[in-house]
Amino acid sequence: MIKDDRNYHQRLQEFCDCYMETDPKKELEKASKGVSGDPSGNLDELALKFLGLGIFYGASEKAKKVILERSKAGKVRFGVEARGKYKLPPPDPKVADRIISIARSITHIDEDQGKLPVSLGLRSDRIELTFQFDRTAGGESFSILFPEL
């Protein structure tokens, strides 16, 4: 078996790069149904794909933020704040948990609340994002804040 030494940040950039020529909304709809394109069904791969597509969709829509919320009861909401507020098909609760876990791993934020800038290289350019987390007794939210363009 080949060992994969790439970290989550690097793999996320690769997913964003891979899907730049696609329709991110259509790909998000597929990913929300559990279609990852990975025949092994690896949860990390699906979570990274969903996260990358969420970032790519937010950037293409000139969003202010993309938000993923998971309630204690397991209900998941996924939305985009751009010129208006849009709800998109949310991922499965297990995928949502993994997305939040990966995003926390990238930023090294373990506290209930926190936010940090994340620079994401996209081909020959980059985008400066902010990952923000808020964990309460009622659930957890993860927001990706976009720069004003």
Q: What would the pLDDT profile of 120-149 be if each residue is shown by its tens digit?
A: 887 778 889 999 999 999 999 999 999 986
**Residue 4: pLDDT over 60:** no
**Angle in degrees, 0-180, between the axes of helices 8-18 and 43-60, rounded to the nearest 10:** 60
Q: Residue 43: inside a domain, yes or no?
A: yes
Whether residue 76 is predicted with pLDDT greater than 50 in this model: the reply is yes
Residue 75 lies in a domain: yes
- Range with the poorest average pLDDT among 14-23, 69-78, 89-98, 128-137: 14-23
Provide the number of structural domains found in the chain: 1
Closest CA to 89 of 25, 142, 139: 25
User: Residue 103 maps to which CATH number?
Assistant: 3.30.450.90
Whether 3 maps to a domain, the answer reads no
Residue 134 lies in a domain: yes
Tell me if 2 is assigned to some domain: no
pTM of the predicted model as reported, rounded to 2 decimal places: 0.86
pLDDT of residue 111: 96
Q: What is the pLDDT of residues 7-57, one digit of tens each?
A: 888 888 887 777 778 888 888 888 777 665 655 678 888 898 889 889 988
* Closest listed residue to residue 126, CA positions, set 117, 135, 134: 117
The verdict on residue 139 lying in a domain is yes
Model confidence at 67, pLDDT cuts 50, 70, 90, reads very high
Q: Is residue 137 part of a domain?
A: yes
pLDDT of residue 27: 83
Average pLDDT over residues 64-82: 94
Q: How many CB atoms lie within 10 A of CB 30?
A: 16
DSSP summary character for residue 2: -
* Residues shown for the chain: 149
Mean pLDDT, the chain, whole residue set: 86
Is it the case that residue 1 has pLDDT exceeding 50?
no
